[in-house]
């Protein structure tokens, strides 16, 4: 059985990422990209679905582990009866081929080590042919090829469907293992020096982290979140994946298992604002440029998510040979929500491009034309029901958040024109649209008897997305309706202080069309902290924020959700939306957050 979700750490090379457990096992890795089929898939099945464990023989979890300061280089230390040993795991930023490096270093005494490598291509379905060539173990199956070597060379042997290495490391000794993937029809790529690669990786990560402008009390958490967001960036295009994993469950044993290895538009505004506020203009510009390329085309075809390079076809399928994380089945690849109508994303895109302009990024020549087309589309379609922010698979509804984001699109377009009258646009028409949407949302989206903005027109259900109303500028934070909504969400949608997306139980199933329940949603919990800060309750906001920081695992990572009763993380991991929320709340608490 796979470890707890929070027992994993992340390493990556800005094109893919791996999850390393406390026991020294790498249980998830997709090559060559985040969205490629996994060659290690034990995370969603068992060891026969692929993993690579490197640890002292007979040992369990490491004694301690940590990232080397401000990097994505992981050190795990085992203290055994025979001595102490350290394994350093990282993926150097690639030249051409992806490399996974593991350096074993003896710290004291003598430690017997065991390495077990099971490569399984296509999400654990394909056992490769393995042979020995020029001191390497070479695994080949179809389009995939992987080469394993060690420096100095450690004897390996085949044992059933695995490659084993048994060796002793003494104090002061270092043995480096390198696993390199490349297309099987191409020659073996050039060999890297693992120790030089380690030095370069540390220097690169530390230089990048050193650019962070934030100097507040939460710098460690902010920098680690930024490093995580950087690790989830697909460097060739600038796209940022929601998570490097698929099908980690929102309910243990349940069916709420989705593929998050794609780029969601709704992450864009908060990501851009945080990157710009903290001094990462190049990354913000790359994300903005990815966004403009991805959404280009007919506004009616806008999707909520895209592939790493802006791919549109992400068909959802199930992998029946994988049992799922802790028997949480099905395991899915692709995401059917890609075909849903989600009106809020139009507001997200327009808001993002407005934030980029306000943040000083030079405007793309055609970006304004895209925004104008989006406003034309919204003028005709904003009154329609949609699947909403939460991508429900039940009936479409008039979600309040979707209408608020349609208002955001009109508002940001108006403000852009007011700031730059040389641009072409329908200023009076957009002002009228903004007013019309605002009036309807206040009339139909607020339930006076309930004392709160509700999830959808005619519903009495609450929705954590309404916490974003003051942050979008739709209403001021001191508006009585905002205050009442924050109090209602806090009263009815929290579990031990953490926030659920919307109602639990039967009401939950009725809305999203999926059986089962889920944990509290960490991004929503950060939104509550934001709302408390904006509505004049800074002590309560800070207290909630610090509780959220305590949910992070030992190396500072957050999944999508948290189960307070079980005290464990749930959902895909690590989750960009959660870390974006952390950074945004830290900035807001210190008075550096963006204000609309």
How far, in whole angstroms, is CA 199 from its chain's centroid? 27
Alpha carbons 241 and 226: distance in angstroms, whole number: 14
Task: Check pLDDT > 50 for residue 225.
Answer: yes
Alpha carbons 142 and 128: distance in angstroms, whole number: 8
Question: What is the SS3 assignment for 459?
Answer: coil
Per-residue CA distances from 289 to 33, 266, 282, 286, 488 (Å): 20, 15, 10, 5, 39
The mean pLDDT of 473-492, rounded to a whole number, is: 98
Task: Check pLDDT > 90 for residue 506.
Answer: no
Query: What DSSP letter does each residue of 290-303 carry, written as one string?
Result: HHHHHH-S-GGG--
Task: Check pLDDT > 60 for residue 80.
Answer: yes
Q: How many CB atoms are located within 10 Å of the residue 185 CB? A: 8
φ, ψ (nearest 5 deg) of residue 151: -135, 115
pLDDT of residue 95: 84
Task: Check pLDDT > 90 for residue 312.
Answer: yes
Task: Check pLDDT > 90 for residue 133.
Answer: no
pTM for this predicted structure: 0.96
Residues in the chain: 596
Region label for 499, one of left (φ > 0), alpha (ψ between -120 and 50) or beta (otherwise): beta
Pairing of strands 452-453, 446-447: antiparallel
Instruction: Catalogue all structural domains in the chain, each as residue range(s) with its CATH number.
Output: 5-208 (2.70.98.40), 211-589 (1.50.10.10)
Residue 80 bridge partners (DSSP): 83
3-state SS, one letter per residue, for 443-487: HHCEECCCCEECCECCCCCCEHHHHHHHHHCCCCCCCHHHHHHHH
Mean pLDDT of the chain: 95
Instruction: Output Rg (C-alpha) for the chain, integer angstroms.
Output: 25
Query: What DSSP letter does each residue of 368-396 carry, written as one string?
Result: HHHHHHHHHHHHHHTTS-B-TTTT-SS--
Higher-pLDDT residue of 515 and 221 is: 221
pLDDT of residue 164: 96
Alpha carbons 38 and 465: distance in angstroms, whole number: 34
């Amino acid at each position: 059985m796979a470890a707890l979700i929070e027992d994993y750490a992340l390493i990556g090379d800005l094109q893919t990422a791996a999850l390393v457990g406390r026991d020294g096992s790498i249980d998830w890795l997709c090559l060559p990209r985040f969205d490629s089929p996994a060659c290690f898939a034990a995370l969603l099945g068992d060891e026969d679905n692929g993993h690579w464990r490197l640890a002292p023989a007979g040992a369990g979890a490491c004694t301690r582990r940590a990232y080397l300061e401000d990097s994505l280089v992981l050190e795990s230390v085992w203290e055994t009866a025979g001595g102490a040993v350290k394994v350093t795991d990282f993926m150097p930023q690639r030249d051409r081929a992806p490399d996974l490096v593991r350096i074993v270093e003896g710290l004291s005494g003598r430690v017997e080590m065991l390495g077990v490598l099971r490569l399984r291509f296509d999400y654990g379905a394909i056992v490769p042919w393995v042979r020995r060539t020029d001191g390497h173990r070479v695994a080949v199956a179809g389009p995939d090829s992987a080469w394993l070597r060690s420096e100095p060379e450690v004897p390996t042997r085949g044992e059933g469907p695995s490659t084993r290495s048994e060796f002793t490391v003494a104090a002061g000794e270092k043995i480096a293992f390198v696993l390199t993937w490349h297309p099987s029809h191409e020659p073996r790529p050039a060999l890297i020096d693992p120790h030089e690669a380690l030095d370069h990786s540390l220097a690169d990560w530390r230089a990048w982290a050193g650019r962070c402008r934030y100097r507040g009390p939460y710098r460690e958490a902010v920098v680690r979140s930024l490093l995580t967001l950087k690790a989830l960036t697909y460097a060739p295009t600038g796209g940022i994946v929601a998570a490097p994993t698929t099908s980690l469950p929102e309910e243990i044993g349940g069916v709420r298992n989705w593929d998050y290895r794609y780029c969601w538009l709704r992450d864009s505004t908060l990501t851009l604002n945080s990157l710009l506020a903290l001094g990462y203009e190049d990354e913000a510009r790359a994300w903005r440029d990815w966004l403009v390329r991805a959404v280009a085309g007919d506004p009616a075809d806008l999707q909520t998510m895209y592939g790493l390079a802006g791919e549109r076809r992400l068909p959802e399928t199930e992998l029946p040979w994988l049992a799922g994380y802790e028997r949480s089945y099905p395991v899915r690849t692709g995401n059917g929500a890609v075909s849903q109508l989600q009106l809020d994303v139009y507001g997200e895109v327009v808001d993002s491009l407005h934030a980029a302009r306000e943040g000083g990024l030079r405007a793309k020549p055609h970006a304004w034309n895209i925004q104008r087309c989006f406003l034309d589309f919204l003028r005709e379609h904003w009154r329609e029901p949609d699947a909403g922010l939460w991508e429900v698979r039940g009936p479409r509804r008039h979600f309040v958040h979707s209408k608020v984001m349609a208002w955001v699109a009109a508002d940001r377009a108006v403000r852009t024109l007011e700031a730059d009258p040389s641009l072409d646009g329908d200023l009076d028409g957009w002002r009228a649209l903004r007013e019309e949407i605002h009036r309807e949302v206040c009339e139909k989206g607020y339930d006076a008897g309930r004392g709160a903005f509700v999830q959808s027109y005619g519903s009495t259900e609450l929705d954590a997305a309404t916490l974003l109303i003051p942050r979008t500028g739709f209403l001021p934070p001191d508006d009585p309706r905002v205050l009442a909504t924050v109090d209602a969400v806090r009263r009815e949608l929290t579990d031990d202080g953490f926030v659920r997306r919307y109602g639990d139980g039967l009401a939950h199933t009725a809305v999203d069309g999926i059986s089962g329940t889920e944990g509290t949603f960490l991004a929503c919990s950060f939104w509550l902290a934001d709302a408390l800060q904006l509505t004049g309750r800074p002590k309560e906001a800070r207290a909630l924020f610090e509780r959220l920081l305590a949910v992070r695992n030992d190396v500072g990572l957050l999944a999508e959700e948290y189960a307070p009763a079980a005290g464990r993380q749930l959902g895909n991991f690590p989750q960009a939306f959660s870390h974006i929320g952390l950074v945004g709340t830290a900035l807001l608490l210190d008075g550096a957050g963006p204000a609309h």
